[in-house]
Every structure is written in C-alpha cells, then in structure tokens.
Structure 1
Amino acid sequence: MPRWLPRAVLLVLGLVACYQLGSWAFHQLIGLLVNILIAFFLALAIEPAVSRMAARGMRRGLATFLVFLGVFVASVGFVVLLGSMLAGQIVDMVEDFPRYLDSVINTINATFHTELSRLEIQDSLLRSDWLQKYVQDSASGVLDVSATLLGGLFRLLTVGLFSFYFAADGPRLRRALCSVLPPAKQSEVLRAWEIAVAKTGGYLYSRGLMALASGIAHYVLFAVLGVPYAPALAVWVGLVSQFIPTIGTYLAGALPTLIAFTVNPWYALYVLGFVVVYQQFENYVLQPKLTSRSVDIHPAVAFGSVIAGTALLGAVGALVAIPAVATLQAFLGAYVKRYELTQEADSATPASRRPGRVRLPGLR
C-alpha cells in the first residue's frame, strides 16, 4: 500500500466531516442569518436619516434611537387606530348580522323560489359536525398560536437590535471591515456600501410612491361607496399591500371588504373586485415603471428577482431581492467594459431607443 494512501483517506474523511459539520451549523443558524440580513437592509434604509442628523452634531447612537423611536411610535399609533376601528366594526357587524342574513335569504328565496328560513339554517349549522370539529381544533391550536406570537416577537426584537447596532456603529463597522483589506479593496467596499444605501433608499422610495397611489385610488372608491373610516382604510391598503410581501395584498383587501360588508353586502363585492383589478394594474403597469426608475433595473429583472428571492428565502427574499439585485448590478457595472456600436448593431436598434453616444469617424 502506498504511504500516501492512509493520509489521503484521512484527509478525505476530515473534509467530509468538516462539510457535514458546516452544513449542520448552517441549517441550525439559518434563522439567525436571515434576521441579520433583514437587519442589515433596515440599517441601510435608515442610514441617510441617521447620517444627516449625525452631520449636524448629534451623536450617532442618539440619532439612531430617535429614528427608531419615530418609526415605533408611528407603527404603534397606526396599529392602535386600526385595532379600535376594527373592534367597533366587528361589534356592529355582529349586532346587524341577523338583518344581513335575512336580507340574503329573502333575495335567494325571491330569485330561486325557495323557502329557506334563518332559524333552520342556524340550527343546521350549530348541529353540524364540521363546526364542532372546527371549535375543537381551534381550542387545541391556542397554544400553537401563542408560541408563534412569542416567536415572532422575539424575532422582531432580534432584528431591531441588530439593525440598531448596524446603523449606530456603521462607520466603525466599515472601518473594521476595511482594516483587514488592502487599500485597493477598501475603496471598492466603501463604494459598494454607498451603492447599497442608495439602492435601498430608492427601493423604499418606489414602494412609498406605490403606497401613495394605492391609498388614493382606494380612498376614492371608499368615499364613493360611503364606507366608514375611508382615510384609515386607504392608508391600511397602501402600506400593507406594499410593505408586506407575498400576502400583503390579501391582508390589505380583507379588512376594507369586511368593513364594506357592514354597509352593504354588495359593496363588499365591489371592493373585492376593485382590489383584484387594481392589483393587476399595479403588477403589470405601475410597479415595473416605478421600480425600474427608482432602482435602475429592467422591469423583467425586477420581477424575476422577486420570484427568485421568494423561492430562496420566502417573504424575506421577496422584500430584499430588488435592492440586492440593483446594488449588485450597479456595483458590477463599473467593471463591465463597453464598446462603441458598429454600424450594423446600431442600425438594428430603433432610433427612439438609441442611447446618447459619441460617433466615430466613418460611421453614419
């Protein structure tokens, strides 16, 4: 047996063991890594505001605390306002539910010539097996819901803590990172950091514009239908549909649909139809235009990055995909060498879409 064979076998076994250990550690820490990724992008989002306050002489830690306090107060006030509104509407809906049910039953009887009765329907529902099973499952799932809420609260605190330190100690973090790199690489790291801040801010700016447009459009509908709390519902639809990925649209549309049902059941259908139609308009017309302009990426790339981010990291990936791709594209664009178009390539491009360029002698 060759002398190198035992060492090679031990080396291979060691590499396999290291790979297994690294894979196990990565899967154990994937939740923490995702939280750090969210915190990093949140820190990039508030970096411009913190930097302006620090440039005016305020300590960076205090500036970060004030920004976080403002965001927290606005979020809590918004949740409390909507919670009180929703509680009042639920009470009204429960009190008026028999009247709504009688109206629906009368409409069905008049249309289909049936003889349905509200009391018979209530008795059949109360005695049904699926309702009893649903109540039992709901009672057994209270502990699961409580554990989920506690886990979400802990995750929120973790993200807030990391994002606070990333924003408050941003310059120190950049200096520590650059201190282990050669001078040529230090400038590239700083430029990538600045690009990430600009692209993340641009992404939030585009989301803010879409939230404003969505809020105005839905407010007009709510005001025309006479839905209560139209301004608050419009703000709810605009913010939730834009800043909660994947399921934000459904959460945003459920609440105004429920409130409209308390006014008139047909109004709920109108609101639901408008939400669906506006979502298609936003997906295919508004969002590609605003996103491509604010973060400077092609609409198809923006759409594909959201799909890829969702497939990799779920809702978190959908939220950070566009600013991450825009940052990577802007950073790599400086290293891509571009050449003057030939006559054949230039003639294949429509004149309205040709970028400004310097013509070389001999080219028409």
Structure 2
Amino acid sequence: LSSVTSDGTLLITAFGGVIGVGKSVLSGTFTALTIIVLTLYFITSLPQATELGLKLVPASRRPRVAALTEAIIARVGAFVGSQILVSFFASVFMTVLALILGLPSPVAIGIIIFICGLVPLIGHFIGAGIYTIIALTQSVTIGIAAFIGYVVYVQVENYILTPKIMKRTLAVPGAVTIISAMIGTSLLGLVGGLLAVPVAASIILILEEVVFPRAEKS
C-alpha cells in the first residue's frame, strides 16, 4: 500500500510539474505574440509619431534633429531585420534537427521557433521548452537529444552568430550587444531585453554625431 501511495504521489508531482511548465510556455508564447503585434503596430504608426514629434522642435534645429531621428530609426529597423535573420537561422536549424529526430510537424515547429526567436534572450527559453516537450512525446532519449541540440545552437547563436550580425548591421560591438541585452532584461524584464540593443545603438549614434564632434571643437 505504501508503495502504491508513493508511486501515486510521485505521479501527481510529475504531472503537476509538466502542467507548470506547460503554463509557463503558453504564457511566454502569448507574451511573445503580443509583443510582435504591438511592434508591428508601432512600426506602422511611426511616421506620424515622428512628424508630430518634430513639430515640437524649434525650426532652427529641426533639420538636424530630423536627420538624427531618421538615423536612429534606420538603426532600429536594422535591429529588427537582424532579429528576423537570426530567427530564420534558428528556425532552419531546429527544423532540420526535428526532421533528423523524427518529430511530428517539423515545419510547424520551425515556425514556432522563428516566432520565439524574435524575442531577445528569453525567446529561446520558451522555444526550448516547447521543442523539448514535443520531443519528449516521442521518447525520453529523443527529448534529451532535442534539448542538447537546442542548447548547442543557442550557444553558437549567442556567441558567434548574433554578435557578428549585430556588429555588421548596427555598428554595435558584440560585447555591447550582449551586455546591453543583459542589463535591459535585468532592469525591465522582457521589454528591457527588446529595447536594450536599439537603445545602445541609438546612444552610440548620438555620441558619434553630437557628443564627440562637440568635444573635439571645444
């Protein structure tokens, strides 16, 4: 009787853990989709917001501020493009791995990974959770292999792929990319992680175009 009770307790605990992970994954996925939708809405309304903001600037400084604003927007756009490119690489790699492991609906899995990859830092935690859970439905061995494969890819992306792409498109050093993302996430969570790299790129641009030239003249 005690053995049956112990096994039942263990089963309930394990089931509760799976439910908890599932809730976290669903919550994270919903958050990611919400952020993507809000980002698209922000992009579509950006020209009107920029025009309105420039009207608040004195006319004598408006051309300079407008040029600087356009440069900042261009860098933010480059960041979004970079995130899409990195997410595409993640999607392709994990789709190929899903095919190798024999996971169901590998293309659908790749689309999910692509969406998760658009969210800096925590996106891959969500993606890894979904990917591993799907793999575990096949077998424990396949689940472990899927998790290890995902972790290996994330390391390659974090330390090789992302810094190189960000440095080329945003002119932001790789170390600054990683550090700014970590600081942004620690201060403001998911929103901070999303905004950290564009903000860092904007600060570098302002330093290059405004602060450093003034310092040299003085």
TM-score by length of 2: 0.77
Check 1:121–1:188 CA distance in 2 against 1; reply closer, same or farther (3 A cut). Answer: farther
- What does 1:60-79 align with in structure 2 at a 5 Å threshold? none
Structure 1 residue 287: deviation in Å? 0.8
Aligned to 2:8: 126
Of 190, 197, 201, 1:326 maps to 201
Aligned to 1:176: 55
Query: What is the SS of the residue equivalent to 1:244?
Result: coil
Q: Deviations over 1:111-153 (max 9, x none)?
A: xxxxxxxx9876424357x85xx79xx9xxxxxxxxx9xxx8x
Query: What is the SS of the residue equivalent to 2:137?
Result: helix
Structure 1 residue 231: deviation in Å? 0.7
Query: What is the SS of the residue equivalent to 1:169?
Result: helix
CA–CA separation in structure 1 for the residues paired with 2:59 and 2:192:
32
- Aligned 8 A contact 2:54 2:65 in 1: no
Structure 1 residue 164: deviation in Å? 7.8
CA–CA separation in structure 2 for the residues paired with 1:234 and 1:315:
22
CA–CA separation in structure 2 for the residues paired with 1:122 and 1:191:
73
Structure 1 residue 277: deviation in Å? 0.9
Q: Aligned residues: percent identity?
A: 25
- Aligned 8 A contact 1:206 1:290 in 2: yes
Query: Pairwise CA RMSD of aligned residues?
Result: 3.5
CA–CA separation in structure 2 for the residues paired with 1:262 and 1:311:
34
Check 1:333–1:257 CA distance in 2 against 1; reply closer, same or farther (3 A cut). Answer: same
CA–CA separation in structure 2 for the residues paired with 1:169 and 1:289:
33
Structure 1 residue 211: deviation in Å? 0.7
Structure 1 residue 193: deviation in Å? 1.4
The one-letter code of the counterpart of 1:235 is I
Matched, 1:288 2:158: no
- Consecutive unaligned residues of structure 1, counting only runs of 5 or more, are 1-118, 139-147, 340-364
Of 7, 22, 46, 1:167 maps to 46
Matched, 1:202 2:78: yes
Query: What is the SS of the residue equivalent to 1:245?
Result: coil
CA–CA separation in structure 2 for the residues paired with 1:164 and 1:279:
28
Matched, 1:262 2:137: yes
Higher relative contact order (CA 8 A, sep 6+): 2
CA–CA separation in structure 2 for the residues paired with 1:322 and 1:264:
39
Structure 1 residue 261: deviation in Å? 1.6
The one-letter code of the counterpart of 2:52 is L
Check 1:287–1:165 CA distance in 2 against 1; reply closer, same or farther (3 A cut). Answer: closer
Structure 1 residue 163: deviation in Å? 3.4
- Aligned 8 A contact 1:257 1:268 in 2: yes
The one-letter code of the counterpart of 1:323 is P
CA–CA separation in structure 2 for the residues paired with 1:329 and 1:182:
25
Aligned to 1:193: 69
Aligned to 1:307: 182
CA–CA separation in structure 1 for the residues paired with 2:45 and 2:119:
23
Check 1:214–1:326 CA distance in 2 against 1; reply closer, same or farther (3 A cut). Answer: same
Check 1:283–1:192 CA distance in 2 against 1; reply closer, same or farther (3 A cut). Answer: same
CA–CA separation in structure 1 for the residues paired with 2:88 and 2:179:
24
Of 145, 150, 164, 1:275 maps to 150
- What does 1:1-150 align with in structure 2 at a 5 Å threshold? 123-127=5-9, 131=13
Structure 1 residue 306: deviation in Å? 1.2
CA–CA separation in structure 2 for the residues paired with 1:214 and 1:234:
8
- Consecutive unaligned residues of structure 2, counting only runs of 5 or more, are 21-26
CA–CA separation in structure 2 for the residues paired with 1:165 and 1:209:
21
Matched, 1:234 2:110: yes
Check 1:320–1:220 CA distance in 2 against 1; reply closer, same or farther (3 A cut). Answer: same
The structure with the greater share of residues assigned to helix is 2
The one-letter code of the counterpart of 2:93 is A
- Aligned 8 A contact 1:288 1:299 in 2: yes
